[in-house]
């Protein structure tokens, strides 16, 4: 599929994200009445996941709903009729009619990419969108908490400065830490407020036996990448957060941490779904990394694993203590700091370790 058609799919997915569940269901019915499965797994031989007729129907119901397109003979084109020439005409004209087709959609919030419309359930779509909103809130609260540390009279100063020391290090002796953290959170927040983020699906529904052989890029319609045993990954252009198997698995991820004590035990690592999206957002908007652990940190964590990175509470706590320059550039440190900021009243009533 050409790049232009790839963008077309992004525009359709962008429009689909805005329609109601009822409308989405009605659309699925039209597609299935035309014997076009909305949910179609790719296989080794199929690059075009979405047949042209399906593309035409989706176009007519989303970005082209207000335009009636005419074929060469002047008749109004109906993609639900079964004439293949008309269907091709429709797609060609739709692409000509649509001004931004050569670029990715623009905007300032979030949409569910093609993969979500091919593979995910309605429940999974709802979880993903809720997580983006939660991530934005986590980022806002984390930024406010760091910003409050510039005002020693702030009523939350004490609790916020404790949180900062725990997750990033002693900013009294090293004010640069505060500057770095404020900059990371401010850029991430700017991203949430001003840039369009695409969420991409890599949950349980794409784990067919054929898919696992292909590993990635299985279909032109979708942006599917297989990331087993992970919460998420990010890409910067376009801004994409790929949500993995763990994200959708309740044994690894909670809806939020509102009713939980933040997991301090790495063997039982709990991540809020919003926290997962926030972690990826700090990669894509603020260039954070998953910090490699230095010798000192490894020793303190008690890990033998040379390739260990700054994931989870134990590693992040230790980073802050022994390598705070790395902590302020480590994605998971921001995830946990922001979660702790929002849910602080629920976090370890007796205080932090």
Contacts for 81 with CB less than 8 Å, ≥ 6 apart: none
The distance of closest approach from Cβ of residue 108 to Zn ion in the complex, given in angstroms and rounded to an integer, is 24
Q: Which is nearer to Zn ion, 167 or 221 (CB)?
A: 167
The one among 28, 104, 109, 290 contacting Zn ion by CB under 5 A: 290
The distance of closest approach from Cβ of residue 331 to Zn ion in the complex, given in angstroms and rounded to an integer, is 4
CA–CA distance, 225 with 21 (Å, rounded to integer): 26
Beta-sheet strands, E only, within 16-112: 110-112
Backbone phi, then psi, for 83, in 5-degree steps?
-105, 115
Q: Which is nearer to Zn ion, 49 or 135 (CB)?
A: 135
For Zn ion, which stretch binds (CB under 5 A), given 141-149, 166-174, 183-191, 282-290? 282-290
For Zn ion, which stretch binds (CB under 5 A), given 102-110, 203-211, 246-254, 326-334? 326-334
Q: Which is nearer to Zn ion, 114 or 232 (CB)?
A: 232
Distances (CA, A) of 133 to 111, 200, 241: 11, 16, 13
CA–CA distance, 197 with 128 (Å, rounded to integer): 12
Backbone phi, then psi, for 201, in 5-degree steps?
-95, 125
Asked whether position 31 contacts Zn ion by CB under 5 A, the answer is no
The one among 91, 277, 326, 331 contacting Zn ion by CB under 5 A: 331
Q: Which residue has the closest beta carbon to Zn ion?
A: 290
For Zn ion, which stretch binds (CB under 5 A), given 51-59, 118-126, 131-139, 284-292? 284-292
Asked whether position 257 contacts Zn ion by CB under 5 A, the answer is no
Q: Which is nearer to Zn ion, 57 or 327 (CB)?
A: 327
Give the bridge partners for 197, in sequence order: 110
Beta-carbon count within 10 A of 261 CB: 12
Q: Which is nearer to Zn ion, 118 or 181 (CB)?
A: 181
Asked whether position 278 contacts Zn ion by CB under 5 A, the answer is no
Asked whether position 156 contacts Zn ion by CB under 5 A, the answer is no
Q: Helix (H) and strand (E) counts for the chain?
A: 14, 6
- 316 closest CA partner among 338, 291, 339, 345: 291
Q: Which residue ranges make up the site for Zn ion (CB under 5 A)? A: 290, 331
């Amino acid at each position: 599929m050409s790049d232009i058609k790839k963008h077309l799919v992004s525009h359709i997915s962008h429009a689909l994200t805005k329609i109601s569940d009822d409308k989405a269901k009605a659309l699925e019915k039209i597609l299935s009445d035309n014997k076009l499965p909305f949910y179609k797994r790719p296989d080794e031989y199929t690059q075009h996941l979405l047949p042209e007729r399906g593309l035409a129907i989706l176009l007519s119901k989303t970005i082209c709903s207000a335009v009636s397109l005419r074929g060469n003979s002047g008749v109004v084109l109906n993609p639900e009729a079964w004439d293949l020439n008309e269907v091709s005409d429709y797609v060609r004209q739709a692409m000509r009619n649509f001004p931004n087709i050569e670029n990715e959609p623009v905007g300032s919030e979030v949409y569910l990419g093609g993969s979500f419309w091919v593979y995910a359930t309605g429940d999974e779509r709802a979880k993903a969108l809720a997580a983006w909103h939660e991530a934005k809130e986590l980022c806002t609260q984390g930024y406010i908490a760091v910003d409050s540390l510039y005002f020693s009279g702030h009523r939350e100063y004490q609790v916020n400065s404790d949180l900062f020391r725990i997750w990033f290090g002693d900013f009294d002796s090293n004010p640069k830490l505060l500057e770095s953290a404020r900059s990371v959170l401010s850029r991430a927040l700017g991203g949430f407020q001003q840039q369009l983020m695409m969420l991409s699906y890599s949950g349980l529904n794409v784990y067919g036996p054929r898919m696992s052989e292909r590993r990635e890029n299985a279909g032109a319609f979708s942006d599917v990448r297989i990331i087993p045993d992970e919460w998420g990954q990010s890409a910067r252009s376009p801004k994409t957060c790929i949500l993995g198997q763990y994200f959708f698995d309740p044994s690894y991820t909670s809806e939020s941490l509102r009713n939980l004590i933040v997991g301090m035990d790495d063997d039982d690592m709990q991540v809020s779904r919003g926290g997962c999206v926030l972690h990826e957002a700090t990669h894509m908007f603020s260039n954070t990394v998953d910090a490699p652990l230095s010798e000192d940190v490894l020793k303190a964590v008690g890990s033998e694993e040379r390739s260990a990175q700054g994931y989870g509470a134990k590693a992040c706590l230790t980073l802050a203590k022994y390598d705070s320059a790395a902590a302020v550039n480590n994605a998971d440190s921001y995830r946990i700091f922001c979660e702790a900021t929002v849910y602080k009243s629920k976090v370890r009533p007796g205080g932090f370790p």
